[in-house]
Amino acid sequence: MHTASAPGKVYLFGEHAVVYGEPAIPCAVERRATVTVEGRDDGRLRVDAKDLQIEGFTVEYGATDSGPAVDVSDSLLEAATKYVDGAIEQARDAADAPDAGFDVEVESDIPLGAGLGSSAAVVVATIAAATAELGVDLDAREVADRAYQVELDVQDGQASRADTFCSAMGGAVRVEGDDCRTLSTPDLPFVIGYDGGSGDTGKLVAGVRDLRDRYDFAADTVAAIGDLVREGERLLEQAGEDGGEPDEEALEELGGLMDFDHGLLEALGVSARSLDDMVWTARESGALGAKLTGAGGGGCIVALDPTDGTETALTYESSCEQVFRAELATEGVRIE
């Protein structure tokens, strides 16, 4: 039996634009998916989803079955099976063990579909645990690459490497197409607000694609997000040269860029009233900057605030179901 965990993430800058080859900067946060894998001799796969911020359930099926016979919604079934299926196939491929069977137990404190990289964390942790169970030692970059292939398949070719690379490597990372690298960055005072819902990632991505194809100004907005990311990268690396806490001036400038990025994402139609309400509550309570994180349409915002102001204010915001401070996860995927 082997157990692995991987962190979720927030986008400091660059969601949606990263799909079109622009850079993005996601940061891993200490909310983790934990996957335990134990081999079995019959070649079947048993998935026990104990806590994915959904009703827990267990399904069992094999390669010759048409799929698990369970009466749940398609989105719920996908959360429990498609990503795990793909991760297990990647582990089998890495170990050259196509008939290996597994009991898989998934636990997570990352809300599903909220923009915090829940699927990427589950896939990364599953690949790491299953390959370890099969006696194969993969480094974090190979885990990230294999996890990306899973997301690419499940998301019909619309995934980027950002979520899976960040979850595997930890810390702050820069992703531009296939060019992925870690960044030197200081500690950042993240506060996350969650509206209790989630957006339809596929629909939101398709909506941006349609706007970009129809209007030059929408394409220019996507390019502007890329330019903003490059400026944010410069600030982060400058602030991270000495490590530790960033100076107030650098934080304020980063926060201003976050505000700008949220405005660009709003213009692309991917925000929501609940997200905007939380963003404005955070700003009015003293946050240095605040924006949606992830695909949008519902889910989470991320704010920069070294004080208790944003966290306190969001507890009284009607659009916010949950608020928490999240530390930068300096360690990515790990065997527990």
Catalytic sites, residue numbers:
163
Give yes or no for a contact between 223 and 238, defined as CB atoms under 8 angstroms apart.
no
User: Three-state DSSP class for 258?
Assistant: helix
Residue 108 sits at the vertex; the CA angle it makes with 104 and 110, to the nearest 5 degrees, is 145
For the chain, the helix, strand and coil percentages under 3-state DSSP, each to the nearest 5: 45, 25, 35
Q: Name residue, tokens 């983790």.
A: 32
Cα gap 90→68, rounded to integer Å = 20
User: Three-state DSSP class for 119?
Assistant: helix
Give yes or no for a contact between 12 and 107, defined as CB atoms under 8 angstroms apart.
no
| Strand residues in the chain grouped as ranges (E) | 2-13, 25-40, 45-51, 57-61, 101-108, 172-176, 179-183, 190-194, 289-292, 300-304, 322-326, 334-335
- Put the strands of the sheet holding 190-194 in their side by side order: 289-292, 300-304, 190-194, 322-326
DSSP state of 318: T
In this structure, the number of other CB atoms found within 10 A of the CB of residue 217 comes to 11
Torsion sign, CA atoms 18, 24, 29, 35: positive
In this structure, the number of other CB atoms found within 10 A of the CB of residue 308 comes to 12
User: Three-state DSSP class for 288?
Assistant: coil
The one-letter amino acid at 152? L
Cα gap 87→3, rounded to integer Å = 14
